[in-house]
Structure 1
């Protein structure tokens, strides 16, 4: 018999959040549905417009970011896309950091120009260069607090002041930094974006994005755009993401502790020519990182070994237990090589201008015993000599 018989009644409730994959929700009457759509009562109607698992996860991330009304989307790029398409129109100009996530760069360089939206890319660590890039038609600024993969720290105080003084919407992609190290709304940002896929979910089994806006009108526009274009977050992924989020702070703190120790160990290894980690005194933005991030360095470490592709191949081959994957934020340590992955589309000269050589690696440090990590990296560096 094809008849739904409803959810079992119970005086008690589940401790774990139930997974609710239903696409449609049943209303009692047309009047009841009107009440929902017109805001007099709370309810769900169609999963593309929202569902319980997305709302539960969004509220949890809102609490971390000091936000309200956050929206879950199908991916981090879904969050970036919904934000930019909702808040910009033909004739608008964007100023963006020059080391954004690769697909964000592509969207700004190749996709938005088709809709009459121009972007100027500039160094977010240079406040004067950033100010020079602003134009009368600049409507939005997009930055990451810590750049990928060189871990440069943006001059957020100057950028925020410039945006505020000129009435420009400031959008911060907080994926790398996370609210554990930096909360953009506390420092004057207008919109915050996350690839929840990374550190917040933390287990490489979820693809999700999140966006929150301070202005309710911005929030409405982003929501409407996401619903119209179908950037719907999967209930199952939201359910998994919530599970991962409960251990986020524990994972982040342990991975950050490991990253600091690994960076110092790498700096002592023969064959390593450069190490980048924000709390190290030799980091080019050390003073700014200390002030902005409160002494936190995050879980990302970048370093460089001497030599060409033969040595990078030897290093990766010898790091047998470190996953070589162009991602970050897993509970375990992963290794990426920007010249052959995230920055492969750039010329050697363009990569060099960003400080990325053939021997440049980025590490997303996980929660393994630090002694094991140092031993494995030392073995791999030795194999590349």
Structure 2
């Protein structure tokens, strides 16, 4: 039996770098390598000490994630942002990377359901105390602060009731109190609002949603104004392995190129759908920040101008789960799915999905009944979209 030493040349294949040419690819290459080879120990030292740019191990960073982060940095007017495995990874890395036992965080009382679960059920196990308060009321946020408060976490527009935070007041409060202000900018997007530009300390995105826009990736993004805070978030994320996949980063980068066009079309559709729903006899109320009857319309206009976004919520007059289910089943062309930001419209029922972990009383306090729906409006023809809702509501 041969030991391989006498095999013909070429029968054992070495790894070799791609051959470079005088042209370059127009589309970003996907680089799935988990490991990267350095030419010497000295070079490796230079990489780890920041004197040379390079990659070592994909958990610590890779080219597709870095490129996507730089492009979102451009949108947010940020520097050194980080891509993570999901939006909740970005929220978790921000809190757990910067806070510790004995610290306290104040959150908006209408945060995304999993953010609320993190606040109410998980952080206490790490010795981090939590409170929630109404972000539309700065005095309520101020009353929730304690001497040990280190962070405030809010969404500009809340999920799913679309209430609008008093961002100017909260920014002033955080600066006055000397606490970190982290802003989940997912609903608003950098088209409508740039937290770091306005004075917040940290901006967070679920890239899964509007930025990527096609329901085929799960990614998050976080950027901090203070480089030391950004490093603490990065170190925690790397340690616990919140690594994004190169292929998903590539898909999200592709989505970014059409993001402004998708945003404008979906927003126009949302405004039209909200007006149509408001006139429907089976709809009790419609929540869309662009409508004058929204409780925070003036606040929204002062924060986002005319960029009111693509999210619409509404409540049936028959606010029961049975009525809601009839509508869902009668509108099969409206994907019933707990997501948002897709090119196509999706319908979500918070009581049975994002906020199912709350008690009925807790949901009621937020204004979420069993007949409450959240709609992520897409870029379809508006007449077709209205026809789908007409069919669904006819069954209620």
Q: Give the TM-score taking structure 2 as reference length.
A: 0.96
CA RMSD of aligned residues (A): 0.9
Aligned-pair distance for 1:269? 1.0
User: Could you say which residue in structure 1 is the equivalent of 2:227?
Assistant: 216
User: Could you say which residue in structure 1 is the equivalent of 2:312?
Assistant: 301
Q: What SS does the aligned partner of 2:83 have?
A: strand
Aligned-pair distance for 1:345? 2.1
Show structure 1 runs of 4+ deviating over 6 A. Answer: none
Aligned-pair distance for 1:11? 1.1
Distance in 1 of aligned mates of 2:119 and 2:358: 16
User: Could you say which residue in structure 1 is the equivalent of 2:347?
Assistant: 335
User: Could you say which residue in structure 1 is the equivalent of 2:388?
Assistant: 376
Aligned-pair distance for 1:153? 0.1
Structure 1 residues 76-91: aligned runs within 5 Å:
76-91=87-102
Q: Which runs of 5+ in 1 are unaligned?
A: none
Q: Deviations over 1:256-306 (max 9, x none)?
A: 000000000111111011000001010000110010111221000000112
Give the one of 170, 188, 205 matched to 1:159. 170
Give the one of 124, 141, 150 matched to 1:130. 141
Q: Which runs of 5+ in 2 are unaligned?
A: 1-11
1:236 and 2:247 equivalent? yes
User: Could you say which residue in structure 2 is the equivalent of 1:106?
Assistant: 117
Distance in 2 of aligned mates of 1:39 and 1:324: 47
Q: What SS does the aligned partner of 2:27 have?
A: coil
Aligned-pair distance for 1:191? 0.5
Q: What SS does the aligned partner of 2:44 have?
A: helix
Aligned-pair distance for 1:251? 0.5
Give the one of 379, 389, 394 matched to 1:367. 379
User: Could you say which residue in structure 2 is the equivalent of 1:57?
Assistant: 68
Distance in 2 of aligned mates of 1:78 and 1:235: 16
Q: What SS does the aligned partner of 2:110 have?
A: coil
Q: What SS does the aligned partner of 2:215 have?
A: coil
Identify the range of structure 1 (280-289 vs 335-344) with the bigger mean alpha-carbon deviation: 335-344
Distance in 1 of aligned mates of 2:351 and 2:92: 25
Q: How many residue pairs are counted as aligned between the two chains?
A: 384
Distance in 2 of aligned mates of 1:9 and 1:187: 44
Q: What SS does the aligned partner of 1:323 have?
A: coil
Give the one of 95, 105, 112 matched to 2:106. 95
Distance in 1 of aligned mates of 2:245 and 2:146: 39
Q: Which has the larger radius of gyration?
A: 2
Q: Give the TM-score taking structure 1 as reference length.
A: 0.98
User: Could you say which residue in structure 2 is the equivalent of 1:315?
Assistant: 327
Distance in 1 of aligned mates of 2:304 and 2:208: 22
1:16 and 2:35 equivalent? no
Distance in 2 of aligned mates of 1:163 and 1:154: 14
Distance in 1 of aligned mates of 2:361 and 2:153: 25
Q: What SS does the aligned partner of 1:343 have?
A: coil
Aligned-pair distance for 1:43? 0.8
Give the one of 250, 275, 285 matched to 2:286. 275
Q: What SS does the aligned partner of 1:225 have?
A: helix
